[in-house]
Amino acid sequence: MTTKLPAPLIESLQARFGNRLSLGESTRLQHGRDESVHPPQLPAAVVMAESNEDVIEVLSLCQQHQTPVIPYGVGSSVEGHVLAPRGGISLDLSGMNRILAIHAEDGDATVQAGVTRKQLNDALKGTGLFFPIDPGADATLGGMAATRASGTNAVRYGTMKDNVLATTTVLAGGRVMRTGGRARKSSAGYDLTRLLVGSEGTLGVMTELTVRLYPIPEAISAAVCTFPSSEAAVQTVIQTIQLGVPVARIELLDALSLSAINRFSKTTLTEAPTLFFEFHGSPAGVEEQAQIVQAIADELGGANFEWATRPEDRSRLWQARHDAYFACLQLKPGCRCFPTDVCVPISRLAECIAETAADIAQVSIPIALFGHVGDGNFHLVVLVDTDNPKEMDEAAWISERVVERAIAMEGTCTGEHGIGLGKRKYLVREHGETAVDAMRAIKAALDPDNLLNPGKVLPDTH
């Protein structure tokens, strides 16, 4: 359903935005779908914003005309965040892509929300600094903040929660606020920045972000190691984390992922559960870390331990990890991936993965498993033909089972993807009615007309 926009709103938007307003089907379709299995839901219009003033104008007009607004970055989210179940305007921030300031001496940068992580890292060349958060896709920093993204480096550098210092945010109706600041810590009032991070565009539209940067490590080394079982691989992860080894990345691919990679890349990698490591530090420090991890892996039956320090050798070792998602998609041409994204306390990770493997054995669809296991976070690549009800049912069953299991293990239904449309039904199960009511109260306080990305995050009340 695409609710039509009021004519006076269209006129005002046309007058202000000219050809930066799109009413055409193809642009609306592009903005009304994401990378997941959710069927598209089109906005009534798309506005390409280029400045804070543009965002203020759209939010002001949309309040006047009681029209929903859905912030949009590059559309790489996977839980239906950018879909338009209630129509309205998709507010595309990808044109707000200026880097406003790099404070190398303080290790922070201020960017517009449409800057992508690769763009920021390109701009940092020569400063000796980098921005570590890497969710895979070259997402916008605004989108990453909105979904509280993390990815492979989070085990060392934290998630967007830990790395957004400040925002400029336009509230419903068009008022602008600054939240947070550039000081490394503050006890001055409620932490609005952390409230916005992960709010998925439902509390305000973040237009500028100040993010933390880190010195590029003096030395980086990478390692890869195969294991006789997922259990042995996961135990290696658990012991590494429990010993406090400051690994920068620690990633698991299961045997099916390796098999998919061999087919996709014509390689002959061992088709067994495999851990990928990266270590950051001084030359002596990374060597020390690698030795500790190798000793742990050896005791647990790890084999083919390879490590590398030169950039080209590290890239070669990690290539399989980088190819994993696309290689898995090729296992079933034309399929889509049903998103799963649980995270559990690390002590429960082996059990959670083993029980999940038993479920996987019961369904017909191919399902690979990989993840950011240093955080206790993993994904299933559940490959489905969205037109096949049996496959969709199997995928939904697997997803439901793994979420239930994670919550029962004191974990979460989503480690890094967010709630969007797809995980709303789990919010009460995970947090309880009272906490979700508190979230609803906050939403009503900051967006009383429910115009900002309505229908997302919070489950409908009945």
CA atoms within 13 A on the CB side of 59: 30
Residues 6+ apart with CB under 8 A from 374: 154, 155, 237, 240, 241, 247, 249, 250, 251, 346
Q: Identify the three-state secondary structure at position 364.
A: coil
Nearer to its own copies, 150 or 340 (CB): 150
Nearer to its own copies, 105 or 312 (CB): 105
Nearer to its own copies, 39 or 181 (CB): 181
Nearer to its own copies, 33 or 423 (CB): 423
Closest distance of CB 124 from its own copies, Å: 14
Closest distance of CB 149 from its own copies, Å: 8
Is 310 in contact with 286 (CB distance < 8 Å)?
no
Closest distance of CB 436 from its own copies, Å: 7
Nearer to its own copies, 27 or 414 (CB): 414
CA pair distance 249, 322, nearest whole angstrom = 13
Query: DSSP E strands: which ranges in 77-231?
Result: 89-92, 99-103, 108-112, 129-130, 164-170, 176-180, 205-212, 214-215, 219-226
Is 185 in contact with 277 (CB distance < 8 Å)?
no
Closest distance of CB 57 from its own copies, Å: 17
**What does the block give as tokens for 185?**
């810590």
Closest distance of CB 213 from its own copies, Å: 10
Closest distance of CB 398 from its own copies, Å: 19
Closest distance of CB 89 from its own copies, Å: 22
Vertex 79, ends 348 and 112: CA angle to 5°?
105
Closest distance of CB 403 from its own copies, Å: 10
Nearer to its own copies, 104 or 363 (CB): 104
Instruction: Give the neighbor-by-neighbor strand order of the sheet with 89-92.
Output: 21-22, 45-48, 89-92, 69-72
Rounded to whole angstroms, the maximal C-alpha distance in the chain is 71
Q: Identify the three-state secondary structure at position 296.
A: helix
Nearer to its own copies, 43 or 135 (CB): 135
Nearer to its own copies, 287 or 385 (CB): 287
Nearer to its own copies, 307 or 426 (CB): 426
Smallest CA-to-CA distance from 17 within 42, 52, 46 is with: 46
Determine how many CB atoms are found less than 10 A away from the CB of residue 51.
Answer: 13
Residue type, 260: A
Q: In sequence order, what DSSP letters do the residues of 190-258 get, joined into one string?
A: --HHHHHTTSTTSS-EEEEEEEE-EEPPSEEEEEEEE-SSHHHHHHHHHHHHHTT---SEEEEE-HHHH
Closest distance of CB 361 from its own copies, Å: 25
Nearer to its own copies, 303 or 408 (CB): 408
Nearer to its own copies, 85 or 411 (CB): 411
Q: Identify the three-state secondary structure at position 374.
A: helix
Q: Is residue 385 classed exposed, middle or buried when 0-12, 13-18 and 19+ CB atoms within 10 A define those classes?
A: middle
Closest distance of CB 90 from its own copies, Å: 21
Specify which residues 101 forms β-bridges with: 110
Closest distance of CB 301 from its own copies, Å: 21
Place of tokens 């992960």: 198
